[in-house]
Every structure is written in C-alpha cells, then in structure tokens.
Structure 1
Amino acid sequence: MIIEGLVRELPQVRHAVLLSADGLVLDHSAGLDPTDAEYLASMAAVLQSLALRVSNVLDGGASRQVVVRCDRIALVVLPWNAHERLAVATAEADLDEIIAKLDRAAA
C-alpha cells in the first residue's frame, strides 16, 4: 500500500491520508481511526481547493502544497497525481525535509 510504505520510509510521519480531489478517503495509515481519516480528508480537500483558488486569483501557477503549522505538528497537503491528493501529519521540526521527500515520491 502506498500510505504504509510512506509511513515506514518517513518515521516522522504520524498520519497520512490519500484522498480524491473531492475529499473521499482512498487509503489511510493504520494508526488513524477511519472517522478521523474521513475528517482529515475533507479538511485537506478544502485546503487544496482554497490554494487552487488563491493561485488562480493571483495568477500564481500550479498549487504545489498547502502547509498548516501548529506547535507540535504540521499538516501538508499536496497533489499526488492528477486525481489524488496526499495529506500528511508530521513533526513540525522536520517539515522541510519531509516536504522534499514527499515531492520526490509524488513525481
């Protein structure tokens, strides 16, 4: 499975959800409750949609990622392919390294 492979390769990742562009859960990490995965997927879809609108209004090109940084965790939402998005909750301190690895994995 894609998600479990990412979680194994990136131990800083606490939770991950693969979602459709409209927010349906396609896969999620084992440690995440299915209801929480659905909630996270819907929030990630809204964040991604807002990022696309910002990009369109400001003529900024493609949206590469959305990042929400909190005190102890960060949520990163990025396009996985043309029809899927990836939402990852990770330790905030390792965010730049994680984003670079996720970008390479999505390419």
Structure 2
Amino acid sequence: MGQEPNGAATDLSWLLQDLVGRVPDVQHAVVLSADGLLMASSLGIARDDADRLSAVASGLQSLAARGLPDRFDLGELRQTSLEFDNGYVFVVAAGYGARLVVVAGHETDMGQVSYEMVMLVKRVAEHLAAQPRTPAGQNGG
C-alpha cells in the first residue's frame, strides 16, 4: 500500500486494476518500493507472483540505473522493458521511492502500455510514493 501524506494507508489496487482492464493485453500490474517490496497489485496475480515480480523489477531498475547512465551519458533512467517469447515486462519510476510494473502479452502495443503507465504515474504519483522505513523500535518523528 502507498502512504497518504498524513500517513494513512492508501489502497492502490483499484488503480492498477483499472489499468489492466483498460489497456488491451495487459495482464498484471504492481507497485513496489525501490527496494523491491510489494505495495499493491492488480487482481488476478497471486501474492507470491507479485512479490517475485517486485523483487525482479527492483533488481532490474537498480542494475540499469547504476550500470549504464554515467558510462554512456544517458541521463536518468525512465523505463526498463523486457521482451520474452510470450510477452513483455515494463518498469517505470512511480513517485518517490516507488516503481510501477506491468506484465503484458505478446500482442500488446508497447507504445500504448508505456504511455498509459506514464499517464497513471503523472496523475497519482503522490499516492504511489514509498515512505522510507525506520528500523523497528524507532519513531519517525
């Protein structure tokens, strides 16, 4: 779940489900913290699968962001996409410390998926942000 500015939890699942329902051939969507912890997922994806997708997406973003931009003067990482025989995985930054991940089938329009992801992030980035965690026993104030 995301955090409202006042600290209240926000259920983002409906936003993700809307994306899955509106964009042809999109199968799943998750929001995760930059360190790979699942924050929210669309309906129809098992918790274990959403957790695995979150961990892999976090690793991909981390490797790409640290390994290439400075070396090749690429600027800031915006999106990571993977193509498989049967589909695609897209990862974009989604608010402070968060990522949005979409799994889509091989018939998807990659441009449309990317566009819809960016538009979702622009509309609700403040609700997608992951607040820094504090170690157990410490107060954040």
Q: Tell me how large the CA RMSD over aligned residues is.
A: 1.3
**What letter corresponds to residue 40 of structure 1 in structure 2?**
L
Runs of 4+ aligned residues of structure 1 deviating over 6 Å after TM superposition are: none
* Equivalent pair of 2:38/2:51 in contact (CA under 8 Å): yes
- From 21, 32, 52, the counterpart of 2:34: 21
**Percent of aligned pairs with the same amino acid:** 33
Matched pairs, number: 107
Q: Secondary structure at the match of 1:39?
A: helix
**What letter corresponds to residue 105 of structure 2 in structure 1?**
A
Is 90-99 or 44-53 further displaced after alignment?
90-99
- Post-superposition CA distance 1:70-91 (Å, at most 9, x none): 1221000011112210110012
- Post-superposition CA distance 1:55-107 (Å, at most 9, x none): 13323111010010012210000111122101100123311221122122222
1:70 aligned partner? 84
1:101 aligned partner? 116
Alignment pair present for 1:7 and 2:7: no
Is 56-65 or 39-48 further displaced after alignment?
56-65
Q: Find the aligned partners of 2:72 and 2:38 in 1 and give their Cα distance.
A: 30
Q: Secondary structure at the match of 2:63?
A: helix
Q: Find the aligned partners of 1:98 and 1:5 in 2 and give their Cα distance.
A: 13
1:37 aligned partner? 50
Structure 2: give runs of 5+ residues left out of the alignment.
1-13, 123-141
Q: Secondary structure at the match of 1:87?
A: strand
2:128 aligned partner? none
